[in-house]
Amino acid sequence: MTISTHRGITIVESDHPSGARTWAHEESGSGGIAHTHEEVIRQISRFLGPDPACALCRGHETEDWACLGIVPCSVCFPEDPVDEDKRRVG
């Protein structure tokens, strides 16, 4: 079993090659399960929102003046590979 943290939340990874990775937020009782470490990071980022320690957005997401709106920061909210593939195709 391997234990790591992301933004103060503990991630527990099974030693089994196809084992699940789990995380739990102790204060709220929320948590999740994923098959890859990257998916756990995406789940935690979605749960916590923008990171105040982010060097890119400083917790205020990113302003997109072309769309006249606020879009998620690419560092705070890593995109799902499936979504990136969809954008390339169409």
pLDDT tens per residue across span 50-90: 888 887 777 777 666 676 666 777 777 777 655 444 444 44
How many whole angstroms separate alpha carbon 11 and alpha carbon 21?
A: 7
User: What's the token pair of residue 52?
Assistant: 């105040």
Q: Cα angle vertex 18, ends 16, 41, to 5°?
A: 100
* Per-residue pLDDT reduced to its tens digit, 32-52: 998 888 888 889 888 888 888
* 19: Cβ contacts below 8 Å, ≥ 6 apart: 13
Instruction: Please name which of 42, 15, 12 lies closest in space to residue 26, comparing C-alpha atoms.
Output: 12
